[in-house]
Structure 1
Amino acid sequence: MVRIIPMASSIRPSLSSLKFSGSSSRCAVSLYSFNSSRRLVSFNLASAVPQTQLFGLKASRLLRGNGCSVPMAGAGNVAQGSTAATPENVLEWVKQDKRRFLHVVYRVGDLDRTIKFYTECLGMKLLRKRDIPEERYTNAFLGYGPEDSHFVIELTYNYGVDKYDIGTAFGHFGIAVEDVAKAVELIKAKGGKVTREPGPVKGGSTVIAFIEDPDGYKFELLERWPTPEPLCQVMLRVGDLDRSINFYEKAFGLELLRKRDNPEYKYTIAMLGYGPEDKNAVLELTYNYGVTEYDKGNAYAQLAIGTDDVYKTAEAIKLVGGKITREPGPLPGINTKITACLDPDGWKTVFVDNVDFLKELE
C-alpha cells in the first residue's frame, strides 16, 4: 500500500474547492471565483467549517417518494423551505433536480507542461487561466467546449510543489475520440507515454488505448464518435460497489446506466450518469474483488456538480449517510452557494448552485 503523503499547509485548494487537511494543523482555504477581476477571499478552515454529525438513517428506513415533486424555494427562503420538507420528499426531489457534472479538479506539478500536453496531444482548448499570487496557486480550465454546457478539467498548480502522490484509489479519465490509433500516433510523436496499445476492450468490441500525462494521470481513449461530450469518464475505485451505487443514486440522483462483472479479471464496474453514456460524462466506479480500502494520495481533489438547491442537496446527502464537510450556504465575498461532502469511500464532491455558477461565468 502506498503511503499517503500529508498535505502541507502551503498547498491550496483550487477553484470551487475547499481542501481539508487530515492533520491538526491549520490551513488557509481559497475561495473560488470564476472572474479574475473579482476579489478573492480567504478564511481559516478551523473556524469556517462546522463539524457535522450524520443523521445515521439506514436505507431501509427511508420511505420511497410518492412521485410528487417538491417546489423549489426562492433564494430568500430556500433554507426554510428545505427544513420544512420531509425526508421522503427531499429524496424524491433529488431525482428531479437539474444536475450535471461541471468539472473535475486535480493537482499538477508543472501547469504549462500539462496545458501543452492536453492541447497538443488531446485536442483540448485552454478555456481560461488565473493566477492567485497571494494564495500561491494558479488554476487552468481546459475542455472541449464552454463551461456552461460541457464537463471540463480544472488544473491546480501550487507554487513550489512539483510532484503529488496519485495513490491507488484514483483510476483514470476517459476521452472519446474518432480514431484511437491516430490519436495514439500523435501522442507518441509528441513524446507521450502509451501504456496500452489500441485494440478491442477485453470481452468487448470497443477500441481503446491507455496513455499517461506528464504527471502520471491515466487517460483511456475510447473510439466513440461523434459525441457532444468528449471528456466522458472519471473512474474511481471503491470498496463496496453496491453501497456506492445506493449512495450515488439516492444522494446524487445519478442513474445506474450499466453494471458489468468480469470474474476472469476479478473486478466489477458500474457506470452512473445524468444521461446516456454516449452523450454525457459519467462516473465509472470499479470494485476489485476483496479490496475494501485504497490510498487516495494527495493529487486528485474532487468533482463539482451543479444543483438547483444546495440546502436540499445537503439534507439528502445526510439522509443516506454521507458526510457534509462544508455546510450549505454562500461563500463569503462572492455569494456563490455551495456545499461539499464525502461519499462512503471518502471521495469528495462539491455541489454548486446552478444560477450562481452561471453568474460566475459572466
Structure 2
Amino acid sequence: MTLRRALHFVFKVGDRAKTATFYRDVLGMKVLRHEEFEEGCKATCNGPYDGKWSKTMVGFGPEDDHFVAELTYNYGVGEYQLGNDFLGLTVQSSRAVSNARHLGWPLTEVGEALYLTQAPGGYPFYLVDKEQPPNDPVQKVSLGVSNLQRSTHYWTTLLGMKVMDKNEEKKSVLMGFADTQCKLELREIAGVLDHGTAFGRIAFSCPREQLPDLEAVMKKENQKILTPLVSLDTPGKATVEVVILADPDGHEICFVGDEAFRQLSVMDPRGNDLLDKAMAEDKSNEWFAKHNRQKAAA
C-alpha cells in the first residue's frame, strides 16, 4: 500500500483574512493554489452547503511531496462549531514559533520545545521548536476516536496503513503509509465523540485503479461510504475521481486517484494573488453589516 500517500486535511474557515495571516505569516506556509466555485461540491468538499465557496491549498512545498492544508470558505458562513474530533496538527518549525512571538500570536508551552497555538476558528496546532527539516515539516494529524482497537483495525486492515508507534499510557496509535509521509495519530478520548459543524476531512491518494476495489471492500465490510466513486471538475484543471468514506467514528476520509490529482495539484504561481484578489472582492462582511445582520453560524 506504499503507493498510497497522505495529501491534506480540510479545514472550514469562517474568516479568510485572519486564516491567511495564520498560515502565511505565522506558520510560514505558501499559497499553492486558490480556486473559486459558484456552487457546492458533489462530494461535499465544502461541507453540506450549496452556495458559492472557495478552496485554498497552503503548505510548505508542492503537494506532490508535502502534506498541506485545504482551507474551504463558504461565503455565507462566518463561524463553525468545533467538536472534539480534531485534536491537532503538529509542525516542526522554530521559525513558526518565532513568527508567532513576533506577531503576538498566542502560544502556550505544553512540553519540551513544544507549543500549542490555534488557527482562527479554534483549530489546535502544535509547534515543535526545532529547525525546520529539509523535507516536510508537517509531522502528524491527530484525531480523536471512541474505541482505539476498533479504529486501528479499520485504518490498518481496511485502508492498509501500518502502525509505527503505540502509547498505552496516552491510549494512542501512530500510523502511516510510509515513514517519509505525514503520520496519522489516533487518540482514544473519554465521552462522546462530537464532530460539531467544523468537522474536517483527511485526504489520501492511491492509484486510480484501486478506487473501485476500495469501494468494494467497504461495501463488503458494511462500512460507511459517504460518496460513491464520483468525478469532480475544477474549472480549467484536471478532473479527478474520488471515493469519500467514513471511519467507525464518522471521520471523513477522501481517496482520490493519484494520476489525475498530480495534474490538478500542480502549484499555481498566481495562487497568492488569486487569494488576495478574492478576499479584496469579497464584500459579504460589508453586506451583512450594512443590512445589520450577522453572518450565519454553521
- Range class of TM-score, shorter chain: 0.7 to 0.9
Query: Shift of the alpha carbon at 1:216?
Result: 0.9
Match of 2:137 among 214, 227, 230: 230
Query: Shift of the alpha carbon at 1:112?
Result: 2.1
Partner of 2:276: none
Gaps of 5+ in 2: 40-50, 267-298
Partner of 2:211: 310
Q: Does 1:220 align with 2:121?
A: no
Q: Deviations over 1:334-357 (max 9, x none)?
A: 652211110000001011001121
- Equivalent position amino acid for 1:268 in 2: K
Q: Does 1:118 align with 2:23?
A: yes
Partner of 1:324: 225
Match of 2:65 among 140, 149, 166: 149
1:273 and 1:227, CA in 2 relative to 1: closer, same or farther beyond 3 A? farther
Aligned counterparts, 1:1-362, within 5 A: 96=1, 98-134=3-39, 135-177=51-93, 179=94, 183-194=96-107, 196-197=108-109, 199-200=111-112, 207-223=113-129, 225=131, 226-262=133-169, 267-276=170-179, 279-288=180-189, 291=190, 293-308=192-207, 309-331=210-232, 335-361=239-265
| 4+ residue segments displaced more than 6 Å | none
Aligned residues of 1:97 and 1:307 also touching (Cα < 8 A):
no
1:216 and 1:224, CA in 2 relative to 1: closer, same or farther beyond 3 A? same
Query: Shift of the alpha carbon at 1:325?
Result: 1.5
1:255 and 1:140, CA in 2 relative to 1: closer, same or farther beyond 3 A? same
Q: Deviations over 1:237-287 (max 9, x none)?
A: 00100111111001211111001022xxxx4111011122xx320111111
Aligned residues of 1:228 and 1:280 also touching (Cα < 8 A):
no
- Equivalent position amino acid for 2:70 in 1: E
- Equivalent position amino acid for 2:21 in 1: K
Query: Shift of the alpha carbon at 1:232?
Result: 1.9
1:331 and 1:163, CA in 2 relative to 1: closer, same or farther beyond 3 A? closer
Q: Deviations over 1:103-149 (max 9, x none)?
A: 11111111122112211111101111122245411111100111122
Task: Give % identity.
Answer: 31
Aligned residues of 1:184 and 1:198 also touching (Cα < 8 A):
no
Q: Deviations over 1:85-107 (max 9, x none)?
A: xxxxxxxxxxx361001111111
What is the aligned residue count? 249
1:320 and 1:174, CA in 2 relative to 1: closer, same or farther beyond 3 A? farther
1:169 and 1:292, CA in 2 relative to 1: closer, same or farther beyond 3 A? same
Aligned residues of 2:31 and 2:57 also touching (Cα < 8 A):
yes
1:190 and 1:251, CA in 2 relative to 1: closer, same or farther beyond 3 A? same
- Equivalent position amino acid for 2:149 in 1: D
1:282 and 1:133, CA in 2 relative to 1: closer, same or farther beyond 3 A? same
Query: Shift of the alpha carbon at 1:320?
Result: 4.0
1:138 and 1:331, CA in 2 relative to 1: closer, same or farther beyond 3 A? closer
TM-score (norm 1): 0.64
Q: Deviations over 1:299-332 (max 9, x none)?
A: 1320111011211111233344421111124347
Q: Which structure shows the bigger proportion of residues in strand conformation?
A: 2
Query: Shift of the alpha carbon at 1:191?
Result: 2.7
Q: 1:172 aligns to what SS in structure 2? A: strand
How big is the alpha-carbon RMSD for the aligned residues of Structure 1 and Structure 2? Answer: 2.1
Structure of greater Rg: 1
Gaps of 5+ in 1: 1-95, 201-206
2 CA distance for matches of 1:199 and 1:287?
A: 20
1:337 and 1:190, CA in 2 relative to 1: closer, same or farther beyond 3 A? same
1 CA distance for matches of 2:98 and 2:233?
A: 48
Aligned residues of 1:247 and 1:320 also touching (Cα < 8 A):
no
